[in-house]
Amino acid sequence: MRLYLGALVIALWLTSIPLAAAFVPGDIEWSPAVIGTLNKDGTLSNGDYKVKAVQFPGPVLGRQDVYGKWLPEDDVDPMVYLEVYKKDVLIKEIIMAPGSDPYIDPDYEAKIYATGFMAGNAKEWIYQFYNPWAKVAIELRAKPALTVTVTADKTAYTSSNDRVIIAKVTIKNTGTAVIKNVDVNLNIGELKLEDGRTELLHNNYLSMAKGDSQTYSVVISVPKLVSQKSYTLNAVAKGYDVKDIEYKSSGNLSLAVSPKPMDPPRVTISKSIKNNIYLKDTVYVKITVGNGGTYDVYNIHVNDSMNGNFELKTNESLQWDPPMLKPGQEWSTSYPIKPLSASPTGFIIPAAAAQFTYTNITSSISSQTTNVIVNGPQIVLNKTVNKAKVNITEDVTVTVSISNSGNIGTSAEVKDTLPAGASLVSGPISLASTYLEYNKPLGFSYIIRMDTDGNISLPAATATYTDVEWRGAGRAVKSSETPVITVIDPSKVPPPLPTVAIPAGTAVKQTTQAPQTENTPEPTPTPITPGFDVMIAIPILIIAAVHHRRR
């Protein structure tokens, strides 16, 4: 009976011991955290995991110090009550406070912790300002990732000139955690290794940290052929993370082997356009692809692009797929463009590119670039103010200038308008039609006065001018920027808080100012009263001097 009871106790003790984890928690690596500042009911997500700030300590009574600053009557111990979700399913409820340990889910897939709390004497704990927050972070378990590439010393070989192919297999851990027991195999199909040892196609690496890479090479014999043939080299790698989860990757390389040396392809592409035009012109771009070699050229794809200073005058996509070109054949197309602005030094017209295939080999070429000079006026219109912040009824000077940075003069006129709530004090608000030579700016200034406060956006000034010819019928319009003026009404600004006189020798308790939060109101701007500070300063200095003499 005693033996039976002893065995029962041992059995119960053994069943109470938790099963050993399939991994060592200390080996877990973590990815960079996603951090967020959460108010009540605020949420933060990272992958499958989400936290929600459900509750904070309740609001408290507040008081104002001698400087008018609000403080809680008693400091609050900050904390936050969080709900943790995985794939939108609640899995845990936790309370975080300063110094709390992180919460790690049982699978070690996520770690949650607090990175900061609102100060215990912050104004936001007070009833009328109550808006607590906490900074929370979520880290996910870092995981490895494998990439495999296969390269060779050449991409095309000939049976008569080449004896071997030197192939390289590169394995890299591009993930964020270590990977173990990485196994790599290279499959060369019907090709043969130079020395016949097939074990050279396989390699194993016990461990690869994040960012690590490994490379090994094999020497393959070039087969003797009577006609061209393509071969594929395929490498497959697999490894395991700290939780023994498998990761796989593969890479391929295609090789062409020919029975005789191949002539290089003689495929050409040209892109032509007039290199000296006027702003009013519409010109054509012509692209030509020619096959001057000895092989058929197929799978041709032509891609072009346009300088942003030109407008495409057709609905074409600037991509074409020409038909197969036999030796001696060519293909061409053209499309119209029109310049949008002038440039005496010219605009670079980008090159066109063509990709094509010959004898199962893919290649590509590009055309030349061309510099196109565009003759015409180039109008620059500016509108500025001499003050960005003024008191109501204070004068503001507005300046409008126009210049021509092109190489052809133009007939231009400028018109401006006043914003609502502003009146003109003096000066013209337009420039009559005049001949505007290049590099000889013109302009005008006027004075306005604001009748309302706030941020006043001035309308843009507009210039109307001819494109090229002084007396031409074509007209173009240019607009200036829209300056913003902040207008302050001194009668609406509250007076500053009264100061409290402190008798000499009285100790003053130092308080730590709480950090300003996003909800703290901005200070009210002080009205601008030009010269007023000087008028006050002079009498104060005189009184101070008389007092000093009497002493």
Look at residues 233, 232, 221, 231 and name the one whose alpha carbon lies nearest to residue 159. Answer: 221
pLDDT of residue 542: 35
pLDDT confidence band for 538 (50 / 70 / 90)? very low
Helices and strands per DSSP (H, E), number in the chain: 2, 40
Q: Which two tokens stand for residue 268?
A: 């050409």
Residue 99 vs residues 79, 113, 116, 525: alpha-carbon distances, Å: 10, 10, 10, 41
Amino acid residing at 196: G
Residue 160 lies in a domain: yes
Does 522 score more than 80 pLDDT?
no
**What is the bridge-based pairing of β-strands 430-436 and 410-415?**
antiparallel
Whole-angstrom Cα distance, residue 396 to residue 425?
9
Does 5 score more than 90 pLDDT?
no
Neighbouring C-beta atoms of residue 249, cutoff 10 Å: 18
pLDDT of residue 161: 84
| 454 three-class SS | strand
Instruction: Name the domain boundary from 344, 375, 406.
Output: 375
- In this structure, the answer to whether residues 370 and 384 fall within a common structural domain is no
Element (H or E) spanning 248, and its range?
A: strand 246-258
Instruction: Name the domain boundary from 97, 112, 140.
Output: 140
Q: Which two tokens stand for residue 358?
A: 């010959």
Q: Which residues contact 499 (CB under 8 A, 6 or more apart)?
A: none
pLDDT confidence band for 502 (50 / 70 / 90)? low
Lowest average pLDDT, out of 24-33, 293-302, 394-403, 469-478, goes to: 469-478
Residue 192 lies in a domain: yes
**What is the bridge-based pairing of β-strands 156-158 and 213-221?**
unpaired
Give the phi and the psi of residue 547 in degrees, each rounded to 5.
Answer: -60, -40
| 180 three-class SS | strand
Q: Which two tokens stand for residue 500?
A: 């409290």
Does 255 score more than 50 pLDDT?
yes
pLDDT of residue 496: 66
- In this structure, the answer to whether residues 405 and 309 fall within a common structural domain is no
pLDDT of residue 458: 92
Whole-angstrom Cα distance, residue 136 to residue 113?
6
- In this structure, the answer to whether residues 369 and 446 fall within a common structural domain is no
- In this structure, the answer to whether residues 94 and 152 fall within a common structural domain is no
pLDDT of residue 15: 38
pLDDT confidence band for 498 (50 / 70 / 90)? low
| 357 three-class SS | strand
pLDDT of residue 316: 85
Query: What integer best gives the mean pLDDT of the chain?
Result: 85
- In this structure, the answer to whether residues 81 and 187 fall within a common structural domain is no
Please compute the mean of the pLDDT values over residues 19-24 and round it to a whole number: 60
Percent of the chain with pLDDT over 90: 64
Give the phi and the psi of residue 412 in degrees, each rounded to 5.
Answer: -135, 150
Residue 547 lies in a domain: no
Residue 185 lies in a domain: yes
Q: What are 175-201's pLDDT values in tens digits? A: 999 999 999 999 999 999 998 888 999
- In this structure, the answer to whether residues 199 and 236 fall within a common structural domain is yes
Instruction: Name the domain boundary from 488, 513, 534.
Output: 488
Task: Give me the residues paired with residue 285 across strands.
Answer: 335
Q: Which residues contact 482 (CB under 8 A, 6 or more apart)?
A: 383, 457, 458, 459, 460
pLDDT of residue 295: 84
pLDDT confidence band for 411 (50 / 70 / 90)? confident
Cβ atoms of 416 and 401 within 8 Å: the answer is no
pLDDT of residue 433: 87
Lowest average pLDDT, out of 96-100, 264-268, 472-476, goes to: 472-476
Whole-angstrom Cα distance, residue 305 to residue 317?
9
Q: Which residues contact 69 (CB under 8 A, 6 or more apart)?
A: 123, 511, 513
Q: Domain tally for the chain?
A: 4
Q: What are 274-325's pLDDT values in tens digits? A: 999 998 899 999 999 999 988 899 999 999 999 999 999 998 899 999 999 9
Q: What are 207-253's pLDDT values in tens digits? A: 999 999 999 999 999 998 878 899 999 999 999 999 999 999 999 99
Residue 54 lies in a domain: yes
pLDDT of residue 503: 55
Please compute the mean of the pLDDT values over residues 397-420 and round it to a whole number: 91
Neighbouring C-beta atoms of residue 189, cutoff 10 Å: 9
Look at residues 378, 480, 498 and name the one whose alpha carbon lies nearest to residue 431. Answer: 480
Round to the nearest angstrom and report the end-to-end CA distance of the chain: 109
Please compute the mean of the pLDDT values over residues 435-445 and round it to a whole number: 88
- In this structure, the answer to whether residues 120 and 56 fall within a common structural domain is yes
- In this structure, the answer to whether residues 117 and 39 fall within a common structural domain is yes
Q: Which two tokens stand for residue 210?
A: 């994040």
Tokens 């990761």: give the residue.
Answer: 247
Whole-angstrom Cα distance, residue 431 to residue 435?
11
Does 540 score more than 50 pLDDT?
no
Residue 11 lies in a domain: no
Q: What are 60-87's pLDDT values in tens digits? A: 999 998 899 999 999 999 999 999 999 9
Distance of CA 21 to the CA centre of its chain: 42
Does 117 score more than 90 pLDDT?
yes
**CATH code (residue 345):** 2.60.40.10
- In this structure, the answer to whether residues 481 and 419 fall within a common structural domain is yes
Does 38 score more than 80 pLDDT?
yes
pLDDT of residue 227: 80
- In this structure, the answer to whether residues 254 and 283 fall within a common structural domain is no
Does 416 score more than 80 pLDDT?
yes
pLDDT of residue 4: 34
Does 421 score more than 90 pLDDT?
no
Q: What are 375-386's pLDDT values in tens digits? A: 988 889 999 999
Per DSSP, 275 falls in state S
pLDDT confidence band for 551 (50 / 70 / 90)? very low
Please compute the mean of the pLDDT values over residues 47-71 and round it to a whole number: 94
Residue 14 lies in a domain: no
Residue 115 lies in a domain: yes
Does 517 score more than 80 pLDDT?
no
- In this structure, the answer to whether residues 330 and 436 fall within a common structural domain is no
pLDDT of residue 495: 66
- In this structure, the answer to whether residues 118 and 163 fall within a common structural domain is no
Domain span including residue 151: 146-258
Q: Is 23 exposed, middle or buried (0-12, 13-18, 19+ CB in 10 A)?
A: middle
